[in-house]
């Protein structure tokens, strides 16, 4: 495999991994922008923008875009996160130029037709309604709001009825001009690709992205607190969380391993004690979500309404005991899970393209997987315990969905 990186004059970075013998390729444009860069008045614009570029460009209708990629058996999709937006494709190697041209067309020549915008807002409003009716989805939005209240990082990616109504074509054009700039974007490709050819395509198709950084997002400030959604559902859905490590923080790997040991699988302490031994929850896990300036460690529980208080109390106890008494065997198991998960994700071109793009956006360089594994292996039991104890000593954010009563934490 051959790894190569080139930075264009406008700051756009092109990173590729050519794989001998591959017949397919994965490629995409990844930008370090998302909902945390939005003003409150137009919350949801990053996600709506992602939808709207597929509605047509200066030369292609929405149908033409769909037919163009599917005529060659390819796939073209996108996603929006709080700190990233991606437009990505999977195609046969010979169709890489077409896929690149389609992705570039979405970003460089979107039409933003006013009638299309009205219809697409209805689609997003349906998506918003579905999320609100799905308790194991909406509870995480509530937790995010509790953790980072009155901040972009605490707001929903989907926005609200009021903020979506305020967005017009001019806002979408302004978002494109402000956020999608050369230095904020990475074009990543893996599989049957030719680096020099992709660089030439990038110069021709994306070389006109403006130079200069996009506006910074507001720095996050973890507050903690509680959000209650007392609608009645068959089960109770609960989350609680703590401020955790940012992407490049020293505690990132210790806390990632702690999250895995505490609640990352069926062998984890939370799963074993709450589900297997006590039967208090049918779903329980812990995760670490990191951003550029902060992170959020969270525990999720789905349980019967009458078990909610006991399950929540026990989960907090288990977490505390794990922070105090994490042992070598648990840490070794967590390391094995993380390393295997990383290497399994890199078995295909799509996994490699995503990995390379994220490494470029977070670290500014394509960090080799062996370096990641070395950092995982270097974490000691003491480091994981210390990082977890410091984290749990901080304020807690909490959210639940269901007509339940919980004891004070």
Residues with active-site annotation: 50
Which is nearest to 90 in space by CA: 69, 102, 74, 70? 74
Q: List C-alpha distances in Å: 208 to 8, 56, 78, 104, 125.
A: 10, 20, 21, 11, 33
Q: Are 186 and 13 in contact (CB under 8 A)?
A: yes
DSSP 19: -
Which is nearest to 369 in space by CA: 380, 356, 360? 356
Q: Where are the alpha helices (DSSP H) in 148-268?
A: 161-165, 169-179, 195-206, 252-263
CB atoms within 10 A of CB 215: 9
CA distance 153 to 291: 10
Which is nearest to 103 in space by CA: 23, 33, 180, 194? 180
Q: Token pair 């996009």 is at which residue?
A: 214
Print burial letters for 114-142: b (CB count within 10 Å at least 16), e (below 16). Answer: eebbeebbeebbeebeebbeebeebbbbb
Which is nearest to 299 in space by CA: 228, 235, 392, 389? 392
DSSP 20: T
User: Hey, what are 75's tokens?
Assistant: 């796939």
Q: List C-alpha distances in Å: 66 to 56, 57, 58, 350.
A: 10, 12, 15, 20
CA distance 142 to 138: 6
Spatial strand order in the sheet of 2-7? 2-7, 13-18, 185-191, 24-31, 85-92, 75-80
Beta-carbon-side half-sphere exposure of residue 109 (alpha carbons within 13 Å) = 15
Which is nearest to 144 in space by CA: 220, 250, 79? 220
């Amino acid at each position: 495999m051959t790894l190569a990186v080139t930075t264009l004059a406008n700051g756009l970075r092109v990173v590729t991994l050519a794989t001998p013998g591959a017949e397919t390729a994965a490629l995409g444009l990844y930008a370090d922008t998302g909902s945390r860069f939005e003003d409150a008045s137009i919350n949801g614009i990053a996600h709506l923008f992602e939808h709207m570029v597929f509605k047509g460009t200066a030369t292609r209708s929405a149908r033409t875009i769909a037919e163009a990629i599917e005529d060659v058996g390819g796939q073209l999709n996108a996603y929006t996160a709080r700190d990233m937006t991606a437009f990505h494709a999977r195609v046969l190697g010979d169709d890489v130029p077409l896929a690149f041209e389609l992705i570039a067309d979405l970003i460089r020549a979107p039409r933003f037709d006013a009638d299309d915008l009205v219809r697409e807002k209805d689609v997003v409003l349906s998506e918003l309604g579905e999320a609100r009716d799905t308790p194991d989805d909406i509870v995480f939005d509530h937790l995010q709001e509790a953790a980072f209240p009155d901040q972009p990082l605490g707001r929903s990616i989907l926005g609200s009825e009021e903020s979506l109504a305020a967005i017009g074509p001019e806002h979408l054009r302004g978002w494109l001009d402000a956020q999608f700039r050369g230095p904020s974007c990475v074009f990543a490709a893996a599989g049957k690709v030719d680096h020099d050819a992709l660089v030439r395509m990038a110069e021709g198709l994306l070389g006109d992205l403006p130079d200069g950084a996009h506006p910074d997002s507001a720095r996050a400030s973890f507050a903690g607190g509680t959000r209650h959604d007392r609608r009645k559902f068959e089960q109770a859905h609960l989350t609680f969380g703590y401020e955790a490590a940012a992407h490049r923080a020293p505690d990132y790997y210790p806390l990632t391993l702690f999250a895995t040991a505490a609640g990352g699988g069926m062998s984890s302490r939370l799963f074993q004690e709450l589900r297997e031994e006590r039967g208090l929850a049918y779903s329980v896990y812990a995760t670490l979500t990191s951003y550029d300036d902060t992170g959020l460690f969270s525990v999720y529980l789905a349980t019967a309404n009458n078990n909610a208080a006991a399950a929540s109390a026990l989960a907090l106890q288990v977490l505390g005991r794990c922070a105090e008494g994490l042992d070598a065997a648990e840490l070794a198991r967590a390391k094995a899970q993380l390393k295997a998960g990383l290497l399994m994700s890199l078995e295909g071109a799509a996994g490699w393209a995503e990995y390379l793009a994220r490494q470029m956006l977070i670290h500014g360089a394509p960090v080799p997987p062996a370096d990641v594994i070395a950092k995982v292996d270097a974490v000691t039991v003491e480091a994981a315990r210390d990082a977890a104890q410091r984290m749990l000593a901080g304020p807690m954010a909490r959210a639940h969905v269901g007509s339940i009563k919980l004891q004070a934490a």
